[in-house]
Amino acid sequence: MKSLFASFLADVGYQLELLVQVLVRLGSIARRRELIADQLFQAGIKVVHVVLLVGLFIGMIVALQTGIELSRFGQQDKIGTIVALSMAREMGPFITATILAATVGSALAAEIGTMAVSEELAALEVMSVDRVSFLVLPRVVSLAVMCPALTVVCDTIGIIGGGFIAESQLNVGLSLYYDSALEALQGGGWWLDLPKDVYSGLIKSFAFGVVVSIISCAAGLRATSGALGVGNATRKAVRDSIIAIIVSNYFLSWLFFQE
Amino acid sequence: MAEEPIIRFEDVHKAFGSRQVLSGLDLDVQQGETFAIMGPSGCGKSVTLRHVIGLLKPDRGRVLVEGNDMARIGRKELRELRSRMGYVFQEAALLNWLSAGDNVALPLRETTDMPEEEIVERVRDKLALVHVPDVYDKMPGELSGGMKKRVGLARALVTDPEIVLYDEPTAGLDPEIAASINQLIRELGEGLRVTALVVTHHIGCVKIVADRVGLLDGGRLHFVSTPVEFLSSSEPRLVRFLGDRMD
């Protein structure tokens, strides 16, 4: 138990140190633009179809589950508002970050872990190549950008999916559904005139993108012992990322919505 | 007065867990000298090289490179020192997502302000030097083991280093290419006074490249001598080691 706790503290310490190293190197973003563009493609375009599919069904599930209960009280016309706010506040950011942890985060850990066990990281060190700037920074920046962007995609397709259910299962007209959904997502906020429900979700997504990328890169950098070590690093990256997403989600939600 | 050695090991001890790898290793390599280390698998030859470039630190003793204690050297000084060193990895250690040319160009692009045209020209020269002139745009996955090895060698030489560390430079190469690589290492030592530490299992390599050679066994160097004396020695331990390697 004691060694587990010590190992947990060592992991968190290493991740925080890596985060600080990335922040210190933010000035290198322009120099790393080609690597960042490549990572944006890996973290965004290659994952967008998964986000579209999962987001669509999440929106449909939210609409179905809440719509059934609302219809018992004759309140099903509120379904647009509920789906829109659920997607924007929680489901969109959480689902997108989880998809990115499972797809991109695992790939990051495996890629960097393979580099670690095949001496490529040692080669970078020998050549005095700054591996944080060269390897980690582009991956953190790309996930920090793509996570909010994909969250918008997830929110949008989820609301559209909810609309299918509203019309086909709950007898709520599409125009009423979309009017209430759009009304819930408009005005009243301080940032780009967005309501807190939307910008809080986007800020959370940004934080999740950073968390997933840092945890995954850290797991890869610390991989040892050949293929087994790479497997362990990948598993650890996905597990720790999902735990960190959930824990940080609670605290960020508390920060935004505490009364 | 004797010249200060470029590389010096003073009573170096290194263990990994309960396994003692180096047990009081002493070694001096003079400027322009090529020193070869032979020894059974797992005896600590690569570990010795890694101490020289600062990838490992000794548990006890000192490793000095140009007078710098590699365990205490500052980050900036280490970077400066490494910029004058090259390291040929046993498995080449090429980055899989960069082409062979980009792999070789990496140290120049990352650590110098050299114009891109000059970098490309220098990279093409080094690839030609190691007999793989046509692989610039090929990805590591498209190269054979021997070609990867030579690209790794080109990468180590692209900065025109003063000290080169070779970890099995000719392993996996056919005899003709191995002989030309051995000749290249020899020429670097003789012509450019490059100091080299070579870890190898190949007697042919030792014969051509080494000024001195030693057997690493039990964590220490034994029988340090010229290749001729080393290979003709009648010491039982050496005869046993060299017995099945007389190529």
Q: In chain A, which residues have pLDDT < 50?
A: none
Least Cα separation, residue B59 to chain A (angstroms): 20
The residue type at A176: L
* CA proximity to A66, closest of A49, A52, A84: A84
pLDDT in tens, A131-185: 999 999 999 999 999 999 999 999 999 999 999 999 998 888 899 999 999 888 8
Confidence of residue B240 (pLDDT cuts 50, 70, 90): confident
Q: Mean pLDDT for chain B?
A: 89
Nearest Cα residue in chain B from A124: B107
pLDDT at B111 over 70: yes
Collapse the DSSP code of B47 into the 3-class scheme (helix H, G, I; strand E, B; otherwise coil) and give the result: helix
Residue B40 confidence class, pLDDT cut points 50, 70, 90: confident
Out of A120, A123, A128, closest to residue B111 by CB = A128
Query: Is it the case that residue B94 has pLDDT exceeding 80?
Result: yes
A123 closest CB neighbour out of B79, B85, B93 = B93
Provide the edge-to-edge strand list for the sheet that holds B68-69.
Answer: B19-29, B7-16, B60-65, B68-69
**Neighbouring residues of A228: CB distance < 8 A, sequence distance ≥ 6:** none
User: Which candidate, A125, B95, A34, places its Cα nearest to that of B105?
Assistant: B95
Is pLDDT larger for residue B104 or for residue B147? B104
Chain A closest-CA separation from residue B181 CA (Å): 21
Among A244, A247, A204, A255, smallest CA distance to A96 is for A204
Stretch B32-59: mean pLDDT: 92
- What is the per-residue pLDDT across B121-138, written as a single tens digit (0 to 9) for each? 999 999 998 888 899 999
d(CA A257, CA B127) in angstroms, rounded, equals: 61
Does B79 sit within 8 Å of A127, measured CB to CB? no
Question: How far does the CA of residue B94 sit from the closest CA of chain A (Å)?
Answer: 6
Q: Is residue B244 scored above 60 in pLDDT?
A: no
Residues 127-156 of A with CB under 8 A from B: 127-130, 134
Q: Choose the closest CB to A119 out of B85, B91, B111.
A: B91
Q: How far is A134 from chain B (nearest CA, A)?
A: 9
Q: What is the pLDDT of residue A97?
A: 96
pLDDT, residue B169, reads 86
Q: Average the pLDDT over each of A167-171, B224-228, B235-239 and give the range with the smallest value.
A: B235-239
| Res. B223: pLDDT tops 50 | yes
Structure-token match 């000719």, residue found:
B170
Q: Give residue A190's pLDDT.
A: 61
For residue B236, what are the CA distances in angstroms to A210, B200, B243? 61, 20, 10
Q: Do A128 and B107 touch (CB under 8 A)?
A: yes
Alpha carbons B245 and B200: distance in angstroms, whole number: 11
Mean pLDDT of B88-100: 91
Q: Is B109 on the interface with A (CB under 8 A)?
A: no
Residues of A in contact with B94 (CB under 8 A): 120, 123
Collect all residues of chain A within an 8 Å Cβ-Cβ radius of residue B91. 118-119
Q: What percent of chain B has pLDDT over 70?
A: 98
Task: Count CB atoms within 10 A of the CB of residue A149.
Answer: 18
CA dist A162 and A67 (Å) reads 10
The pTM of the full predicted model, rounded to 2 decimals, is 0.87
Which pLDDT score, from 0 to 100, does residue B246 have? Answer: 52
| pLDDT value, residue A1 | 65
CB burial readout A177-186, b (16+ within 10 A) else e: bbebbeebbe
pLDDT at B1 over 60: no
How much is the average pLDDT of B110-120?
Answer: 93
Q: Which of B50, B96, B106 sits opposite A127 (nearest CB)?
A: B106
Nearest by CB to residue A118, choosing from B55, B91, B107, is B91
Q: Tell me if chain B has a CB within 8 Å of the CB of A21.
A: no
Q: SS3 of A230, please? A: helix
A34 touches chain B (CB under 8 A): no
